[in-house]
Structure 1
Amino acid sequence: MSGVTVSSARPLCLPDGTPYEGTLYFDGPDLVTVAGQDVILGGTVAVDLVAGEYSVTLAAPDSTGMNPSGWTYKVRGVFSNAPGWVRYIALSKANPLVTLADVVVPDPVAGTYTVLANPSTLLAKAQNLADVADPAQARIHLGLGGAATLNVGTGANTVAAGDDPRFSTSKPWVFDVTAAAYGAAGDGQVVADGAMASGSAVLTSATANWPSSVVGKAVSVKGAGPTGVTTLVATVVSRQSATQITLSAANASGAAVSGAIVIWGTDDTAAIQAAVDAAEAYLSSGHSYAQVYFPPRAYIVAGPLNRSKSGNGQVVFGVYPTIGNKPILEFRGEGDGAAAVRHWEQTVPQYAGSCLISFGVYASIPAQANDVTANGNAGVISGPNEGSTNGLAYGASARFSNIIPGLKNLAILNTHSAYGLSYGAFNFFGAANAYLENVGWSTAAVVPGTDYTSPPQFANGQSIGGLLPAPGNNDLVYAKNISIGGGYTFGIFCTEHLVCDRIMVLYCWSAICPVGTYAGSVGSVHAMLIESASVEACTNELYIVGPGSSGIGPIIDILQFSTESSTPNLAGNSQTAVNSALGRVKLTGIFSETGVSTQYPTGIEFVDGQVPRMIKRKTAAFTASPIDRVLICDTSTAGFTGTLPNASFCPARYTFRNVGANTLTIATTSSQLIHLADGTNATSASLANGKSLTVEALYDGTGWGWYAI
């Protein structure tokens, strides 16, 4: 005998959504036999509703040997919260799983289906509520306003439906660069098997699969540019096949290139600028927030530097008067992964999510130097900046554009140059405030090979990955989840009031650069705070840019500074800048305690974050390092000398203890004096067995020295 399972496709509910409560009764013939199976059936099967749902298995009326056969079940619904009803269903062994609605048949006596309502009382779609007694009241009850009587369309007195463009513009403050009004393609593509013969404009790739539409696209070939420039930037002038194209410029490296990173796509510079211009027009009409939105794609930015708005960038925004309201202009992509770190085995650059890929690079060291001097540091995105030839220099002399630019969920790739000749990711130096969240920037290069093996080469140029608002800013400089993948002379210029929760910098000449003063700015007064920093493979972990106000600062505290350098170093653009810097940095990671150094004496205190207390044992002559604190000196074999570092600006306090039988001599640098508690002073002091000396650096109005405490 065959069975059929009848169940509810979804809960049986009243018109207000309340589930039916009660029982369904399935009535069959009083007596049914099945030949050859000694089975006798008949009567009624009852199933209770649970939250309006049910499932029951019934005998199929067309089972082999069934007598009678082909009959229908009568279904009676008996409910405690609604009137009952009757249905009739026909089941077949050919369909073992059905819902009630699938198998309803006419009443075998009346010859009609059971109808819940008279058809004349049902509303007709075509009438748009005109078939009710009071259409206006019905629209009020349904919350439809006048929509129920309007046709679908795009003109006046119509309603939107489906993918109507009016839905996409329901947020007038969002300016999508891919919208028809702007037209960004976001079609950037990358391969890592480009090849060009020396002096040839022909580019081949086995994997690129170039279509005929590639002609006219912008293209870059890493390794095919002149020495130091590194990357060839051109356009596609013709296509020979899916694996071969001809460029507007020839390989200028002086040698054949293979395995080259090739990037190509539509130049979206003008489209992005159009979206920015529209966003600024929206702000100028009295609104306080506008968003330039980048759907998750790779956007090629190959346009020239634009200096029309007192900045120096490929995409620029303008000047806002300080007497007006300060608006927010946000450049925003999708996803928190924009700050993702490339894997060291990747053979293509990291560009997930919403990514701008710049093809901007200077032709030579002098070309970059001259442009920076005249127009300020170049950035893919730039506000009014320090350039003096663009009208007033912004960021200089506490002059700011009264705007808050923001970058969120964006990655920016700059053209790779071995000499640091690429543009930066952004320049917000002349903006009153700025914020960054989930942002990453890097040159379009990879770790395997030689792209990042010599960070000192980046010092030939002046590329700055990112510039935050200049000293004297309006007390909002915020950064959250930042990754700098490398390739710049300077990873980031940090400025006063900065609060940053996480920053990573790789493969730059100088990684984190606290700014005391730069490009005519006022001197910094307020501090910076970085909660967690990670720096690897940079020549200078910290690089001080100019002294702060009145020779005090910049001031920076880094709660946890992780490095894999055996010789973490602090340097600066002048001795005065390094001398003036203040703060505290707790070092962690893989480093040599004896390798910690500073280019000049500094007021920044370095702390070993990997020991509970900084205590070292010495058995021979040594010079105390910036990270030393307590030095246990064992002179059992012979006496020796422990030399203090330069007292100038030194924030550290040193304790020496002699635990041996011979004399321990404490000496100074540059003939500085040790002032003892008994009032004597000399360039050295002697400690006998069991004696200790604790000293700290002080300035007495004429010079620095070490004072016993």
Structure 2
Amino acid sequence: MPFPAGVETVTVSSGQPLKLPDGTAIQGTLYFSGPDVVTIAGEDVLLGGEVPPVELVDGSFSVDLVATDATGMSPTGWTYTVRAVLTNAASWIRYISLPKATPSVKLSDVVVPDPVAGSFSTLIDATAVSAAYLAKAANLADVPDKAAGRTHLGLGGAAVLDVGTGADTVAAGDDPRFGQSKPWVFDITDPAFGAVGDAKIVTDGAVTAGVPVVNCNTSAPFHSGLVGKSVLIHGAGPTGVTEFVTTFSSYNSPTSMGLTAAPPTSATGAIVIFGTNNYTAIRAANAAATAYRAAGHPYSEVYTPPTGGFILDGPLDTSKSGNGQVVFGPDATTGGKKVPHFRSDGSGAGVRHWEQLVPQISGGTWISFGFYSSTSAQLSDINANGNPGIISGPNEGASNGLAYGVGGRFSNTMPMISNMAFLVPHSAYGLTRGAWNFFGCANAHIRDVSVSTIGVVPSSTDYTSPGVFGTGLSIGCLMPAPGNNDLSIVDNLSIQGGFTYAIFFSEHTLIGRIMALYAWAGLCPVGTYAGSVGAAHSMRVLSASVEACQHEVYIIGPGSNGDGPIVDIQLSTESSTPNIDGNGVGALMAAVGTLTLTGLYNPAGVSIAHPTGIQIINGQAPRAISRKTGAFTAGPLDRTLVCDTSSGAFTGTLPDADVNPVEYIFRNVGANTLTVAAFSGQLITGVGSTSGTATVAVASGQSLRVQALYNGTAWGWYAV
């Protein structure tokens, strides 16, 4: 609110901006205050105290104040106190007198250090400043003793050394000497190798059969720099093969690229993956790591940064007794064990969400573009060179080396994979390749890893018919063969679908946590395979989640001397028909151990394709007791059968006695007779009897307990 027109005021301003000695504008706030109470007669004005803060803007300000000798003022002869609170200079207090005769003044013209003395004193001695302080414009050139200055600042000699790669120089950020602290680490993105994790995934691809063009009209992801790079189009390959792989031949627009070859099948809304082909770069890093071990070192590491997907578009290599895109050769059993480690950071085991529309990339991800063109091509290659994998050690191949893993022959190698993900082409017929084949390696360690084909769950075709994957022979993960050197570990492995067999594992293997989805067969314990010796030791799975597989557990071959594989598996599933099968009657009959089922499965739907020595336990119930009121056949989960014959007599039939590990108890709690019948062609032998009968009558209130036994001639049920 302004003063009455009769009250004289004076405008006080900075004139030139207030500055530091080097010309920098002073920043901060000025506070102007007068006496507590001043009156102006005739104007009915009473004033006093401090005016609101006046901000310095780049050193400048302006404020209107009542003159210190305004007409009718009482008292007179006083001065304003000016208090400067500064952010880039020392604060100060000075005084000003504002006679009404000069209605506009500059602060520098009226400020005084003392209200009584009234004389002006210099705030800063420019000469002293020049002598005592460094000049900004000199850029430290005027430091009197530079060596002493470095010492006082705690700087070493490196502060004055040039950047270079020789002696008496300091290293730049990209200097290769920084990597010399860990010479065993071979980063695939190192300039020496040159891998680029630039894989791009879009879901709006459209192609027409016979036309070498791909369009992505919504995502518009293309640019001219993509010419020559690899591209995979999901669903544009031949029937059963599914994928189509080629390279970009030309750039048409942000929504269209020319293709080097034309796809055989039209597709819309297709997953398209494209980017730099790192086949040569990753193989070069692996070759360097292999050479490092060969030079006498026990361990080397091929490191993949967790920065995206790295595409590998190239053939299988069979030159080192294996069959993979990235291979390592045999290590002598008479020397020290070698440990090649394929590693990234974070966790590669991220599980794809069931609503996810793109393949999962976790940790450092390798994306292979390799697959077979037909079932015959797949079978021919496996027979000659062993099962393929993105990574392969010496394997079971008969034509590419000495058939490691066969007959007890192993390479003295313990490969490790951690924090990585592997994507391989999707094939409706299971014609893809696996992530790794370590069949001929002495042992292996896998931690925080995921493996999947390039498919998604919401698709109407990708994972809706896992049984069709049985057309082919793909193995997602292949662990060391029976007869291995012990100490194989799998911990936190996500196998997310698209394979004939999710995983082969054998004796001496401990699996901490594993998930197997959308495969023809989930967990595949190996008793013997591809000429290996028979497994004689146990294998254990602490926690398995197996969903949407044709067979939850699938036994591969009998163990040593016809006994085994020996398994202890905790398996969770939501299947309505959990099934245990194998690659032959002998495999299932030789297998022994326990399989505990949990989850939202249907106990009545549990089945075994052939008799087996594996005891299947209902992990959802504290005791396996079930009540029966009519005719039934005892199942693999049954143990105690409480039979209520109150409404009439009925028959309970035993399953096949062959190698059956289950003891069954039949208890008749009704008033009528319960008949217990043996499996077709088998007999039930009572306590104290030497001959059996096809059926046994159990009277009201009585029980019958039976176990399976081989009497030297045939299997049958014997009362105990």
User: For 2:561, what is the secondary structure of its paired residue?
Assistant: helix
Corresponding residue for 2:201?
A: 190
Equivalent in the alignment of 1:210? 222
Asked if the contact 1:400–1:473 (Cα under 8 Å) also holds between the matched residues in 2, the reply is yes
Aligned CA-pair RMSD: 3.2
Q: Report what 1:676 is aligned to.
A: 686
> Which residue is equivalent to 2:551?
540
- Residue 530 of structure 1 corresponds to which residue in structure 2? 541
2:308 paired residue number:
297
What's the secondary structure of 2:381's corresponding residue? Answer: helix
Counterpart among 398, 411, 424 of residue 408 in structure 2: 398
Structure 1 residues 143-542: aligned runs within 5 Å: 147=158, 150-162=161-173, 164-206=175-217, 207-253=219-265, 256-295=266-305, 296-336=307-347, 338-447=348-457, 448-542=459-553
Q: Please say if 1:111 is aligned against 2:124.
A: yes
Structure 1 pair 328–635 and aligned structure 2 pair: CA distance change class (3 A): same
**Contact 2:350–2:450 (8 Å) recurs in 1:** yes
What CA distance in whole angstroms lies between the structure 2 residues aligned with 1:512 and 1:191? 32
In the alignment, residue 480 of structure 2 is paired with which amino acid? P
In structure 2, what residue type is equivalent to 1:209? P
What is the CA–CA distance in structure 1 between the aligned matches of 2:409 and 2:94, rounded to whole Å? 84
Q: Is the CA contact 1:191–1:208 (under 8 Å) kept in the aligned structure 2?
A: no
Other-structure match for 2:659: 649
Match of 1:608 among 609, 612, 618: 618
Amino acid at match of 2:124: G
Q: CA deviation at 1:29?
A: 10
Distance 1:40 1:484, change over 3 A: same
Displacement of 1:246 in angstroms is 2.4
Return the letter of the residue paired with 2:493: I
Match of 2:576 in 1: 566
Alpha-carbon distance in 2 for matches of 1:260, 1:416: 12
Q: In structure 1, what is the equivalent of residue 26 of structure 2?
A: none
Is 1:62–1:69's contact at 8 Å kept on the other side of the alignment? no
Paired position in structure 2 for 1:54: none
For 2:262 and 2:211, locate their aligned partners in 1 and report how far apart those are by CA, in whole Å.
5
Alignment deviations for residues 173-196 of structure 1 (CA, whole Å, 9 cap, x no partner): 221111111111111111222222
Q: What are the Cα deviations for residues 193-227 of structure 1, in whole angstroms up to 9, with x where unaligned?
A: 22222222222221242111221111111221111
1:465 alignment partner, SS class: strand
Distance of 2:453 and 2:93 partners within structure 1: 71
CA distance in 2, matches of 1:279, 1:112: 68
- Verify the 8 A CA contact 1:380 1:425 in the aligned structure 2: yes
1:708 deviates by 2.1
Q: CA deviation at 1:131?
A: 5.0
Query: How far is 1:168 from its partner?
Result: 4.7
Q: Which amino acid aligns with 1:495?
A: S
Taking the aligned partners of 2:436 and 2:310, their CA distance within structure 1 comes to 16
Structural mapping, 1:612-631, within 5 Å:
612-631=622-641
Deviations 1:89-131 (A, max 9, x none): 4799xxxxxxxxxxxxx9966735999x9779xxx98899985
- 2:710 corresponds in structure 1 to 699
Structure 2 residues without counterparts, runs of 5 or longer: 2-30, 40-44, 56-60, 69-78, 96-112, 114-119
Displacement of 1:676 after TM fit? 2.1
User: Where does residue 16 of structure 1 map in the other structure?
Assistant: none
What is the identity, as a one-letter code, of the residue corresponding to 1:558? I
Secondary structure, aligned partner of 1:480: strand
Cα separation, 2, equivalents of 1:33 and 1:531? 87
Relative to structure 2, which stretch is displaced further, 241-250 or 124-133?
Answer: 124-133
In the alignment, is residue 550 of structure 1 matched against residue 561 of structure 2?
yes
Structure 1 residues 272 and 32 mapped into 2: Cα distance closer, same or farther (>3 Å)? farther
- Residues 685, 371 of structure 1: alpha-carbon distance in 2 compared, 3 angstrom cutoff: same
| Contact 1:129-1:148 within 8 A present in 2 as well | no
Distance 1:693 1:286, change over 3 A: same
CA offset digits 1:145-176 (Å, max 9, x no partner)? 76456333333221225554533554322211
After superposition, the C-alpha distances for 1:341-368 in whole angstroms (9 at most, x for unaligned) are 2222222222244211111110111100
Separation (CA, whole Å) in 2 of partners of 1:590 and 1:424: 30
Query: Alpha-carbon deviation of 1:477?
Result: 0.9
Q: Which amino acid aligns with 2:194?
A: G
SS of aligned partner of 2:475: coil
My pick for the range that moved more, 692-701 or 446-455, is 692-701
Q: For each residue in 1:364-385, what CA deviation from the matched residue of structure 2 results, as whole angstroms up to 9, or x when unmatched?
A: 1110000000000011111111
Q: Give the partner amino acid of 1:298.
A: G
Amino acid at match of 1:538: C
Q: 1:290 to 1:128 in 2, by over 3 A?
A: farther
CA deviations 1:228-252 (Å, max 9, x no partner) are 1111111122222222222222222
Does structure 2 conserve the Cα–Cα contact (< 8 Å) formed by 1:604 and 1:651? yes
SS of the aligned residue for 1:496 comes to: coil
Q: Distance in 2 between matches of 1:426 and 1:38?
A: 89
Work out the CA distance in 2 between the residues paired with 1:167 and 1:29.
63
Mapped contact 1:569–1:598 kept (Cα < 8 A)? yes
Structure 2 counterparts to residues 580-599 of structure 1, below 5 A: 580-599=590-609
Determine if the alignment matches structure 1 residue 689 to structure 2 residue 711: no
CA distance in 2, matches of 1:146, 1:702: 90
Give the counterpart letter for 2:228 in structure 1. Answer: G
Q: TM-score, normalised by structure 2?
A: 0.81
Provide the C-alpha distance between the structure 1 equivalents of 2:595 and 2:94, rounded to a whole number of angstroms: 80
Conserved 8 A contact 2:490-2:509: yes
Give 1:274 shift.
0.5
Identical counterparts, % of pairs: 52
Q: How many residues are aligned here? A: 635
Bigger Cα displacement from structure 2, 124-133 vs 420-429: 124-133
SS, match of residue 659 in structure 2? coil
The 3 A distance-change label for structure 1 pair 225 and 696 is same
Which runs of no fewer than 5 residues in structure 1 stay unpaired?
Answer: 2-26, 42-56, 76-85, 93-105
Deviation digits for residues 302-334 of structure 1 (CA, Å, limit 9, x no counterpart): 111111211100111222112222232211123
Letter in 1 for 2:413: I
SS of 1:578's equivalent? helix
Secondary structure at 2:707 match in 1: strand
Q: Which amino acid aligns with 2:385?
A: N
**Cα distance between partner residues in 1 of 2:239 and 2:143:** 73
Q: Structure 2 CA distance, aligned partners of 1:479 and 1:129?
A: 66
Aligned: 1:659 with 2:669:
yes
Equivalent AA in structure 2 for residue 464 of structure 1 = I
